[in-house]
Amino acid sequence: MSCLEMFLYDVVYTLVKVGQTYESRFSDNGDGTFTNPFIWGDFPDVDIIRVDGDYYMVCSSFCLTPGIPISHSQDLVNWQIIGYAYEKLDYADIYNMPNGSSLYNGGAWAPSIRYYDGKFHIFYFDNLGFFVTCISAKPEGPYERRFITNYSLFDPGVFFDDDGRVYVSHGSGAIYITELSSDFRRVVTPAREIYKSPNETLEGSHVYKRNGWYYICNPSGARDGREYIMRSKNIYGPYESRLVISSVMNYAYNGLHQGGFIDLPNGDSWFFIFQDHDSAGRPPNLFPIEWKDDWPVLKQDNTTTDGQVQPTYRKPATNVTVAPISPMHSDEFSSPILNLEWQWSLTERPGFMRLHATAGRILKETRNTLVKRLIGPTMSGRTVIDLSNLEDGDVAGLAMWNLPYAYIGVLKQSGRLIPAMVNQDEVIEAAQPLTNDQIHFKITTNDRSFASFYYSIDNETTYTKLGNELQLVLTVNTFLGSRFGLFCYHIGNGTSGFADFDYLRLESPVGPANHFDASQPINITYYDTEYSIIPQRSFDNVQSLISNTSGAWTCFNNLNFSQGANLFQVSAKVMSSQQGMIEIRRDRFDGEILGECPIQNIQPGDFKFYNTTITPVSGVQKICLVFTGQGGGFFEIRDFQFFFIRERNL
């Protein structure tokens, strides 16, 4: 078979579909490796500590309550939420949303967690002027709160020195050190500027002491961020600074930034850090470091990588075997207490979540929306609602919550129940009024960060798409990633009712992070390891890559050829008048060649399908794609897949 654009008019081929679904993607590959992000969901501004053999993580929650989720792990890869630092933001009236007002980007920013003198301490700064300390003997809480008011400690990194003195590194632009009292109720030594870069705007401090050195980790930049570390023998300096990492990993244009490091009992060190990821917010990532002259540097295999953070690594050597854990789960509302993944009893109607309609003109003003994180790269959420107790003016449904947001819901008006899809408070499309008082809703998201909205009136036999798509973005309006939301609110001053939600069920075609059905299209940027490639992203959020040099490669560790394959297909675009070649290799970038596919300059500027026959393969294989040519950047690739071809005379 010739290796040209794929026009298989003379063959019949069989697509192999595995078809298994999961609740959400999880990073543990089950083979001793994990794939970043270690949670493909919104856990922004993470801080992690180790207490003996246990690891605890906190992250920003901003306006959401309960606030500051506390997660636990024994291997730094599989995490579960075990509690929250507080139940409510009850120290400022704006968080009660009086008269339709709101502060969606307020609340808990960039928390810091430390374990000292037998207690867990969580610190955060609210830009309304509150520095808050949460203290508990148990990691899951409950926590006592203490306040310092009217003193700016932005993005605090808190450090307990060997003598018990408490220091906070904070600031944006210039970095300061402030000393606090041991009861965290007052400032002992006012802010002293210790570092200001002439070229970078630093913030997001994480403070450590190691081998007699004080270290402060700071990011610079936003989406295109990078991470610096500075050190000194004195907490007040002078400090010298170095770049830790400048890498987009496999998500084009968005740099890894804002994190810190953690030392394992065996002496290994790992750096944790987040990356802006549009629909999923700011997922956390993990990569190994080593120490050279008391500076942390990326630990890498110099024979196979080129100084970039890789998506897939061996799991940290914590000497604990943990079964892979899905970071987000469906909820049947069968317990009288909500599971901790929700940011929001279930006693009025057992087995259902009952939401009473609170006053609000639009969803943004609704105070009782129940939200759960979206986990990337693709996921769907569905629910069924009993509408029999809605009153005129009530609106209930399923939202893709953030700012901007959209939802599919039902408005009760003049006694009629009218399904509608609403995008940013504009009714995009309405369906015919319901003839019963139950409806199913579903929202699906794709790996391009778009959400679609569906309803079913025949008990999920069929779903009908309604309205348009919502592009999911991460903005300063909330600083949060997208979430599924259950809501019920009331327009006007009339009598309000309530809606009963039977469940929220989550589904994802992705389970173990980088395990793929080889017969389905695989985005080229979902590689495990790479050498000398550059991720790209189009205006409509389609990921691709270009090779930087002849001999560049990507490897995919777990491709499932469940019924075999003998043909390779790739979507590629020629970048110049030169032609290139893709070598399909087994096990390594220099392993057995299964096939070679020329990428020809047939029609520059457009993506085309190219294919080649390969040595038949079956089972689970590690496949590497090696890109060769006469110069760098000779073609751009979006996705690839494999087929099993049975030829016959037609």
Residue 203: active-site member? yes
Element holding 281 (H helix, E strand): none
CA Rg value for the chain? 26
- Where does 446-523 show beta strands of DSSP type E? 450-456, 464-465, 470-471, 483-490, 498-501, 505-507, 515-517, 522-523
- State yes or no: cis peptide before 139, omega within 30 of 0: no
Backbone angles phi, psi at 487, to 5 degrees: -145, 160
**Number of other CB atoms surrounding residue 233 within 10 Å:** 10
What 3-state DSSP class applies to 534? strand
Catalytic residue among 28, 47, 75, 203: 203
Cα 586 from Cα 186, distance rounded (Å): 62
Catalytic residue among 28, 42, 45, 278: 45
CB 310 within 8 A of CB 528: yes
Cα 110 from Cα 103, distance rounded (Å): 17
Cα 422 from Cα 149, distance rounded (Å): 40
DSSP β-bridge partners for residue 261: 271
Sheet holding 109-116, edge to edge: 109-116, 119-126, 130-136, 144-149
- CA 637 to chain centroid, in Å, comes to 24
Given CA atoms 254, 258, 264, 268 in this order, what sign does their dihedral have?
Answer: positive
User: How many Å from the N-terminal Cα to the C-terminal Cα in the chain?
Assistant: 16
Cα 522 from Cα 515, distance rounded (Å): 10
Backbone angles phi, psi at 598, to 5 degrees: -70, 140
Residue 263: active-site member? no
Enzyme catalytic residues: 45, 203
